Structure 1
Amino acid sequence: MEFFRNDSFSLQGKGDHVYITAVAPGFPIKEFDLLLKQHPRLQMTSFAGLRDALLQATGAPVQIGVLRPLLEITVSRDWMEATLKLNMTESELQLRRTSLVDEVAEALKQHEITEGILFDALRDPPVQRSIVIARGIEPEPGRDAVLSYYSLSERRPTLRQDGSADYYELSFIDEVQPGEWLGEKIPPTDGKDGRNLKGDLLPASKGMDQPLQYDKQFITEEWEDDRFVLRSQVIGSVYKVGKLITVEELLLIQGDVGPQTGNLDYDGAIQIMGTVLDGYSVKATKDISILGESGIGAVGQIFSESGDIYIKGGCFGKERASLRAARHVYIKHAKDCSIEAGESIHIGLYAIGCQLKARHIVLDKKRGKLIGGHVHATVQLTTAYIGNEFERPTRVEVEGFDRSDIIRQLDQVLAEYKRLLQELEHCRREIVMYEGYLDLLSDTQQEEFAGYKEKYEATASALLELEEQRVKLMAYMSARGDGEVAVFQKAYPRTMLQIKELEKTILSSTGGFFYVDKNKFVQE
């Protein structure tokens, strides 16, 4: 088939191949580009053959290219997309306009494309440029189960002044009643199957399920409308242990702890609406909250085995009161008492003549006063004032820490966190794969599936524990140097600071940040 001829050469097509027969030398090879535009089906494969044929003009046919199909269809490897290229000129397109749709449909059929054809793309198609003519339907994975839980109050005390009264407020114990909402799960969905261009079914993966984690002794799980809902069975206080939500029985004392109640020793949390009278003690395995505005006096002992202590008022201990908590103590002010916490002590207004011991000791940066007594912090003390204008001796010890060791531990935690994230994702993928074929699994595969689900939960719990470790380690990094005393207003004379093994006695009123760095005492 000859499709071009001039005085110098002719072009013929034989099958898919294109040949040139040159009879007169001297045709400029650059002008051949114009010919290619006039014949878009011609695709050059040998420019060297073209050049030699035009120079030598032997009259013998020379293969120089291939003939593209008029309707060039290309299918992706995954059979999810096909493109169409019209290898024709605009004038040729106008001549074929009425039959183009039928021709394209037939060409697609020859390529086994039956699904997802985009005929709208042929309303005003471009020539000599690829357009998407068919697109498969991607499977839509199911939505994972959505879990929601009761939000615990953030334990961050607020000291504010209203007229002549100071209020030290903290959302402390999250009390719930029987039937109160504690969490819910919206189940996973099945997803929507897809199809490729051949019409083959592409199964969608089901959303991943997760169990609600809760204490079944005090919490029920029921199906309500379109979700599973957790509700409390008892009056109690809400806690979270890792991912597990639980309700601890709450002992509520409407008045004071005294002759009518005796000393309290309770397995759970205690909330006292009044005060604790002198000489009486309160012990609980969980949190202790004393909400009386007057605070407490010369009590015996207030002790939380595993939780926090919150005293809305203050403590005038008369050198008898002892407060101990496994985690944190929050108190408005303290005088002549002993306070010890495993994590931190937060004091709003002042601590006078007290024995304080915790990893972090925090007084209000603008008004907090630390006067007299003995303070022992592991990492950091923050306050507005230390001592007073009468130069009452005040001793502060910061045990200090090895910053390089904390950084090393942080690196280890972060590396392990990254590893567990990868493990969690691996388990997730395996679970999704198994869930797609639950009805076909053998007994052995069912055991493997259960094993992956168990491992997924264990890994998720381990990640939560690592996050708690990371937060604790980052708290060390908030201090300057290897241990810090931060005085935002003034430290008075006869204040003695000891950080690690280094000591400094304040001789004249000053403020700033005191810390040890590379075995040197630094003040900024």
Structure 2
Amino acid sequence: MEVIKAKELTEVFDELEKRYGKNWYEHVHVDISTDADGTIRVTITPIAFRAFVGKEVKATEDFHDVVAGKKMGEYLEEAVSKIENLEEKLKEYENPRIYVTVSEDEMKAYVTIIPGLEKEMPTIDELIGALNKSGVIFGIKKDVLEKIINEKMTYQQILVAEGKLPEAPVNAMIEYRFKISRELEGLDEFPSCTEGQVLAEKIPPKDGVPGRTVTGKEIPSQKGQDFDLRKYAGENTKVVDNKIVAAISGQPYVDEEGRVHVRDVLIIGEQDLERCRKFDFPGTIVVTCNVDGPFRISAGRDLNINGVVSGSVKIKAGGDVYIKGGFFGRGRGLVMADGSVTVQFITEGLVIAKKDIYVGDYVMNSEVIAGRSVKVSGEGLILGGNVKAVELVEARRIGNEFGVATNVEVGIDFEYETRKAEITHRLKLLLDEMSDISVYVLKLRAAYEKLSESFSVNKDKFRSLIVQLEARREEIANEINELRQKLKALKFVSTQEMFKLNPRIIIKETCFAGVTMTILGESYKTTFELGPRALNLQALKELKTQRTKK
């Protein structure tokens, strides 16, 4: 049921013809009423619904009883007697009539079938022919036509053809080839790029596809919009063959206007550390906060940290490392630099620098290896662990009054000591992991045995976890065996060049008993306090000789 509202009755007829064609009266029943404000309200009901729904006509009933309130038989006899050419009219109504209505925009076509007196329904070909005769040649729904015939759908307007709207164009766009900062959530690695790397590419525009009306008219489409890629190439980038490429190695990022830039310095803050655990950047890295936890930070050039570094952190730099707040490794942390390392303090960590290591206060229970020198200023204390350098170790005090074992060595083979320290450090981490896994496996097995068969899903999960942990433990065991072999294969290579460097240990104040000093392989363990002095190989040998004579 539909409702039409209008101010004038002529508008009603116009709308009826537009919706149902000139013979609308054969399709629908119309009830007209007027609202209080004078608006004409037309209620439209399909004739089939109006005539048959809710009524059951018996074959033996008199036709007068079907239409209540009128002597229909007498009325029909009188009406028929006035029709001219009755026989021709009867022939006209023998076959079904097909009415085609095309919407004003020619995007839809409908058919209404009035059954014939002799032949009730048309054929598929007759329906298509009627549509074609009305100009409908596109989008005809043959399955709907078949349904109309099979289900004898008469006296109702049915949609049988639809045009095709034009496809929208696709404007040119930028496809970024790296994860932009706002997408970092959940990533393991921070974005970086190398010189010449493609950072973004322009996807060319695509024109829309024209549509068609049911009468076959083409509906024009629009063209996709293009843009100049150069306006999106920002700092340290260039455009090559519809692509934006990095002009330098660094950190790529996108500004608010969609332009691509490359920073030659990567700035890492607290929020970045919350989102990401691994940072590998070809340029300089600046960390503006403390670093505590299992982070991996690798810089192609310098690395500056304005805070304390602690825990199982692994830091590497192709240049210098500067740690403002000091390094507390907890037996797991590692700092390596191809340049020098400057740090406020070192505690329970491994620090390796190809050049110099400058410590602001103290080195305690740590492994420190320098390709040139280790200098401890300020409090100037070296206590516990191993401090090694090729040329020089300098400190105010070495060891303490309690005789804590402390090793200081100069004239080392830097490559040998570095490789040995790295392998040893990795072995310690692997042993810790293996111990943890063994504990987890035991706990999981105990829990698994307590689960009943009714917890089959949980048992499957437990089995899966146990298998995965056992597999990881086997991987660790294999890696440990490989590292053990590598450690055995390491060879110390002493060269005459080291003698020319005249390696020294400088004690500015006190060296306590229990300290082992080694110069070019010659070792001496102090049994008493030594005052300020500079020791080279010759002086160390003389010290040993003097103490032997006494």
Give TM-score, length-normalised by structure 1.
0.36
Query: Which structure shows the higher strand fraction?
Result: 1
Question: Larger radius of gyration, structure 1 or 2?
Answer: 2
Give TM-score, length-normalised by structure 2.
0.35
Query: Which structure shows the higher helix fraction?
Result: 2
